[in-house]
Structure 1
Amino acid sequence: MFKWLLLFAGAGLFYLWIKGKKQAQFNAENPPKPNNKPERPTAPEVMVQCQYCKVHLPQPEAFTFDNRFYCSKEHLHALDSNGWVGDAQWRISPNQDTRPENVIPDLVVIHHISLPPGDFKNQSSSQHIVDFFQNKLDPNKHPYFAQIADQKVSSHFLITRSGDLIQFVSTQNKAWHAGISSFFDREKCNDFSIGIEMEGDGDSPFEASQYQVLANLITKLASTYPHLQFAGHSDIAPGRKTDPGIYFDWKKFQKETGISPEKLPFGLSSR
């Protein structure tokens, strides 16, 4: 029995030897073709910086909005230390300057704006407002534009009919939105206020999406500026201004923001 095992083992070794020689001969007769293609270098991982906290992270892991990067949703939806809201479109206006020394905003002024007046009912016209605040409004596009093209105005924020939030000026700086104005004997309201424009004409109700965006914005602002009070442009410039007008629902605004009625010194009635 042992002899048969030796015989089988020897036959197996002989078979492997013959197979190896044939493979060696085949390889010698058929050498592999050289690969002349250069190896493609591995691309380095792209790193980006969080706009809010400045931490660096791989771009695929970042939250992106308006060509900016954030490390978390919390930072994306916050007001940063420079006075800019992460989930707003930033369209910087040249019509701004610094607030007086040691002045922190404690008033929000609600406005309405439509360029041309009422044109949003027929088509999207919010870009005209952006152009106006950036001094880019073409006076040849509409007769009304020729009347206002030389004015230098701005606001901190615009909420369009479709619910887009656009920011033009940091909350730390002064936007030119209030003009000649007074809030309980405090003149020059631009010095201590934040201006928010609602796209509208005073003759139409505002959209539900605008109130929702406004409420979210107020939450962000109040977390940084806890002493804010709220008024309409007509409240601080009576007889000169009528916005946001009778169709702005102050009761809805108060309910959706949850702010105390005491912070609405002109009341909740439409005006």
Structure 2
Amino acid sequence: MFDPQGWYLKARHCPSSHCNERPQKIPANLLVIHNISLPAGQFGQPHIEALFSGTLDCACHPDFESLRELKVSSHFVIYRDGSIVQHVPIGERAWHAGKSVFQGRENCNDFSIGIEMEGTDYQPYESDQYNSLVALTQAIMSVCPDISLGRIVGHCDIAPGRKTDPGPAFDWQRYRAALRELK
């Protein structure tokens, strides 16, 4: 499901310059689920891809001023229709987690893969998104064997008090049950 460079074959590729090598080539052993919408609560806009590509015109919406000079990325974005865009190969470090800690280990970007779900904390995600997320997770777990069900978390879990995503609208039970069925 991945080419030798770490690109998912079922995703559209839109490379980001907002990434770098993992320290000491540390393999990914954590999967972090996020949410994003730009502007907040609006879907189907080109702004997420522009943000992760470093081409967002911050003058096009008043809410974007705070994003000026921000350099962020995620490995993947799953849009409302279930389509997947990959910005960073899985072997590289995307800049998605920020200040974070998992099981006492800081800087989760060093050892994690980030997946952004187009959505908000309080609006239900689409079935197509869950279907794509499950398939993508299964593909990631097949090439990153240290990622187990217990090592799949929300951004809120690694940056508590600072982040709330993917939010209460994300159906963890549905997602985990679908992953268990595939085993």
Q: How does 1:157-172 map to 2 (within 5 A)?
A: 157-172=76-91
Q: Distance in 2 between matches of 1:217 and 1:95?
A: 22
Compute the TM-score of the two structures, normalised by the length of structure 2. Answer: 0.95
Q: Which amino acid aligns with 2:39?
A: P
Match of 2:153 in 1: 231
Kindly report the root-mean-square deviation, in angstroms, between the aligned alpha carbons of the 2 structures: 1.2
Stretches (4+) displaced over 3 A: none
Q: How does 1:203-222 map to 2 (within 5 A)?
A: 203-222=122-141
Match of 1:250 in 2: 172
1:112 to 18, 32, 35: 35
Match of 1:99 in 2: 22
Structure 1, unpaired ranges of 5+ = 1-77, 261-271
Q: How does 1:1-271 map to 2 (within 5 A)?
A: 78-120=1-43, 124-125=44-45, 127-228=46-147, 229-258=151-180
* Post-superposition offset of 1:149: 2.7
* Post-superposition offset of 1:259: 7.5
Q: Percent identity?
A: 45
SS of the equivalent of 2:38 reads coil
SS of the equivalent of 1:190 reads helix
Q: Distance in 2 between matches of 1:170 and 1:208?
A: 25
Q: How many aligned positions are there?
A: 179
Match of 1:28 in 2: none
Q: Distance in 1 between matches of 2:181 and 2:60?
A: 41
Compute the TM-score of the two structures, normalised by the length of structure 1. Answer: 0.64
Structure 2, unpaired ranges of 5+ = none
* Post-superposition offset of 1:101: 1.1
What per-residue deviation string (whole Å, max 9, x for no partner) do you get for residues 207-258 of structure 1?
0000000000011111111110200000000000000000111100111122
Q: Which amino acid aligns with 1:184?
A: Q
What per-residue deviation string (whole Å, max 9, x for no partner) do you get for residues 120-178 of structure 1?
2xxx21x2100000111111211011221320000000000111100000000000000
Residues 156 and 171 in structure 1, CA contact (< 8 A), matched pair in contact too = yes
Could you say which structure has the larger radius of gyration? 1
Q: Distance in 1 between matches of 2:172 and 2:70?
A: 29
